[in-house]
Structure 1
């Protein structure tokens, strides 16, 4: 076993070499986005290793067990060389047993393995994230649309508005799904920082927000989290001590007292020996309940504040993500397939253009397959700035007439029609309201204009060229090899 002083010497040497390696990396100018990302990952690993070795050195210098002090006293005698010769003997014995043992210098360990790093980067990001250029919030978006009483928007609008957390009702925030949604969103953004910007100082941002948040929380000025007093429930007059719940009006409070749930809670309170409920006791119970709720909501409110700050720091990536989503909406299936086949070529061209001046796009038009903004007339032609909501699809919003027309043959609308018990035929094209769909269905049945649904004749199939056939014709052409 190495002596404590030798362990300290090696740790100091390792820290110095890691610092030199990190400095050399930062002095090199990266040409592409991928090279810059690998460079930052190398520097981050060096910094983490420096922190680890520094903590190891600090523990040795503190010398809580006194081993280092004993070792120094053993080798610092003026005339006694016994310890010196004993250590020299151990060294000679070791090298005699292992005469040909190879030593790998630390410099070789710090030489980057480019092939391994590229493989790690490929596994680090999803295909939607594009090596850290875009955010992939699809899974978080699915959680959002399943929250109660939130504005139903499409993915593109969500990317622009997910940071507006103060607009979400307090009743939704009190539900069981909202804390998971907020924590998952915060965790993803922190994970994205760690993967796409490993040198970003997240702890510093968190420390700054903690200082300002503590004061805002006590004053009740955190956006979306005002104190209950601001909602008119500061009085204990309409507070039910048995159910631990406040009510806004006398009528609601009186109606609550006749409910089965209240009677059961009141009986449980009597069993505990509480029979005489004074106004002072109610006020004390109300304040205790309010404090409990505030303590429960405090971590969620701080997580919201962090998300807003993270989104502010990721503004360039968010803008690129929205532009990328818009670009995909303007492409046909053939163009999307071509884009997938040329992914590597497009990435290389984008990386080479990163250091050049950004394209002039004041109107923030979607980008075409060539990476340039589409013409304004094409943007207006497709109506990409016009929203088309469909109540049958769960109030899903489609951007542009092309996407709106196409959605009537897609799974979301077909599923909505099945839930209504109505066949998804051409009669109901352009029908987006549930009430209108029911009305037309009854009218068609009453006038005998609707034939019974036959899958072979009425179920539609589309080939790769966009041609639409009924099921029987499609299967016949496919068997003949014409599709």
Structure 2
């Protein structure tokens, strides 16, 4: 029926069924990241439909054209019975005209949407993300990093360093480039990517609330000159401090500057309306920087996962990368084949999994000391579980990189040394005693072939000359 009251009733029913569909979706046990992401996008679709129907329902209750009130008056007036039978006649006439019309119960639509999970859904998820993003687990900043590298006067950082410091606008980006078109285009790209990442990887996150709260705090900080990287002295007026491009520590120096020709000329331009636009541009740039910082704070877990993923990939050889890709394909196939298996592994102690995918025995866990933590400050306070992993890590890339950053050779003398101060102390002692080993390229410089085998320089050159490598 097309009357207003029936449309209101149908809208209320649809909203209630959508709410129940969201509850049913929450109750489903999503075992993998892919399933959780699919469930969140499904719930986001339901919430969007609730919002649309609520707006329509609000317009119906507003009753600007008066149709709703006229229907109520007709049903509650002296001719309510005639009105009732007139509407009943319209319904009967409709079913007489369309006797074989099929009617699907409204609840079946939401049951179907909650239970539907086919290959097309997986394809849709795959299309949302690049290969580097891993279905929303990691950032893909390669294009943004290329834009950053092409900016003038910025410190050239590698990709891993850029992931850590891309939102450090106060120190990483000089003020001399912040008015350039390239820098503004770079900020626009960063804002667009992070906003898009929220919509794709975290569809249920309320980005609008984050932006509104950030905007309110930014306006207060800007008026008080507290925006990071855009501060001005409290003795200055914001407009005067900005269009002169200077800051003054003493009131007497500032008063003298205001009587100068340069300031008077700039003031005239400001009154004419030119530099005000420039000041507004500075504020717009500062707002974008602040917004990126808030986005990055909300996505801090994704940033850390991205950094760990980049570090792990840097330590892999080409052969290991190929094996990893094949292993990911196998894991996806196993997940799809095990979707119908609802038996979950009982592992309350969170023991490591063995070769069969089941938790190892507790006695074996205790025997190998896998519950004992061994932190290493040289490795960035990384914690190794178990003595075996701890002993092995002294010759691995993470510890070697930490020693290289300290400027200390990673020799056998520093085995068991995990504190930075202890390493420096031992290094100074060895230098005084003359125990420090001289670096010999032939025996100490390492080379790696395409299969991941490591040789010293002398052996590598001999094998290469013989055509073995």
Q: Which residue of 2 aligns with 1:338?
A: 323
Q: Which residue of 2 aligns with 1:272?
A: none
Q: What root-mean-square deviation, in Å, do the aligned CA atoms of Structure 1 and Structure 2 show?
A: 4.0
How far off its partner does 1:74 sit? 2.4
Asked whether the 8 Å contact 2:132–2:140 carries over to 1, the reply is: yes
The counterpart of 2:186, out of the listed 175, 181, 186, is 181
Alignment: residue pair count: 359
Secondary structure of the structure 2 residue equivalent to 1:375: helix
How far off its partner does 1:58 sit? 0.1
Asked whether the 8 Å contact 2:374–2:383 carries over to 1, the reply is: no
The counterpart of 2:393, out of the listed 368, 375, 378, is 375
Secondary structure of the structure 2 residue equivalent to 1:309: helix
How far off its partner does 1:226 sit? 2.5
Secondary structure of the structure 2 residue equivalent to 1:151: coil
Secondary structure of the structure 1 residue equivalent to 2:283: helix
Q: Structure 1 54/80 Cα, relative in aligned 2: closer, same or farther at 3 Å?
A: closer
Secondary structure of the structure 2 residue equivalent to 1:85: helix
5+ long unaligned stretches in structure 2: 248-260, 337-343, 353-369, 406-447, 454-468
Q: Which residue of 2 aligns with 1:298?
A: 283
Q: Structure 1 211/350 Cα, relative in aligned 2: closer, same or farther at 3 Å?
A: farther
Q: Structure 1 139/228 Cα, relative in aligned 2: closer, same or farther at 3 Å?
A: farther
Q: Which residue of 2 aligns with 1:38?
A: 38
Asked whether the 8 Å contact 2:136–2:201 carries over to 1, the reply is: yes
State the distance in 1 between where 2:37 and 2:192 align: 21
How far off its partner does 1:22 sit? 0.9
5+ long unaligned stretches in structure 1: 240-244, 250-276, 388-461, 468-482
How far off its partner does 1:82 sit? 3.6
**How far does the alpha carbon of each residue in 1:49-78 deviate from its partner, in whole angstroms, 9 at most, with x for none?**
111110110011001111211222223222
Q: Structure 1 130/384 Cα, relative in aligned 2: closer, same or farther at 3 Å?
A: farther
Q: Which residue of 2 aligns with 1:211?
A: 216
The counterpart of 2:269, out of the listed 285, 291, 296, is 285
How far off its partner does 1:21 sit? 1.3
Residue 200, structure 1, aligned to residue 205, structure 2: yes
Residue 20, structure 1, aligned to residue 38, structure 2: no
Q: TM-score, normalised by structure 2?
A: 0.66
**Larger RCO (CA under 8 A, 6+ residues apart):** 1
State the distance in 2 between where 1:205 and 1:44 align: 17
Q: Structure 1 56/346 Cα, relative in aligned 2: closer, same or farther at 3 Å?
A: same
Q: Which residue of 1 aligns with 2:108?
A: 108
Secondary structure of the structure 1 residue equivalent to 2:396: helix
Q: Which residue of 1 aligns with 2:164?
A: 160
**How far does the alpha carbon of each residue in 1:383-440 deviate from its partner, in whole angstroms, 9 at most, with x for none?**
47757xxxxxxxxxxxxxxxxxxxxxxxxxxxxxxxxxxxxxxxxxxxxxxxxxxxxx
How far off its partner does 1:13 sit? 0.1
Residue 71, structure 1, aligned to residue 71, structure 2: yes
**How far does the alpha carbon of each residue in 1:281-337 deviate from its partner, in whole angstroms, 9 at most, with x for none?**
752424654432221122221221121122112122111111111111111111111
Q: Structure 1 176/76 Cα, relative in aligned 2: closer, same or farther at 3 Å?
A: same
Asked whether the 8 Å contact 2:153–2:174 carries over to 1, the reply is: yes
**How far does the alpha carbon of each residue in 1:185-218 deviate from its partner, in whole angstroms, 9 at most, with x for none?**
1221121122212111222222221221111111
Asked whether the 8 Å contact 1:134–1:317 carries over to 2, the reply is: yes
The counterpart of 1:171, out of the listed 151, 168, 176, is 176
Q: TM-score, normalised by structure 1?
A: 0.65
State the distance in 1 between where 2:393 and 2:452 align: 24
Asked whether the 8 Å contact 2:22–2:43 carries over to 1, the reply is: yes
Q: Structure 1 350/224 Cα, relative in aligned 2: closer, same or farther at 3 Å?
A: farther
Asked whether the 8 Å contact 2:147–2:186 carries over to 1, the reply is: yes
Q: Which residue of 2 aligns with 1:416?
A: none
Asked whether the 8 Å contact 1:232–1:248 carries over to 2, the reply is: no
Asked whether the 8 Å contact 2:178–2:184 carries over to 1, the reply is: yes
State the distance in 1 between where 2:293 and 2:145 align: 16
Q: Which residue of 1 aligns with 2:95?
A: 95
State the distance in 2 between where 1:181 and 1:214 align: 23
Q: Structure 1 149/124 Cα, relative in aligned 2: closer, same or farther at 3 Å?
A: same
Q: Structure 1 205/361 Cα, relative in aligned 2: closer, same or farther at 3 Å?
A: farther
Secondary structure of the structure 2 residue equivalent to 1:199: coil
Q: Which residue of 2 aligns with 1:316?
A: 301
State the distance in 2 between where 1:174 and 1:208 align: 26
**How far does the alpha carbon of each residue in 1:261-282 deviate from its partner, in whole angstroms, 9 at most, with x for none?**
xxxxxxxxxxxxxxxx998675
Secondary structure of the structure 1 residue equivalent to 2:138: coil
State the distance in 1 between where 2:87 and 2:26 align: 42
Q: Which residue of 1 aligns with 2:413?
A: none
Q: Which piece of structure 1 moves more, 85-94 or 278-287?
A: 278-287
State the distance in 2 between where 1:83 and 1:178 align: 68
Q: Structure 1 151/38 Cα, relative in aligned 2: closer, same or farther at 3 Å?
A: same
Secondary structure of the structure 2 residue equivalent to 1:200: coil
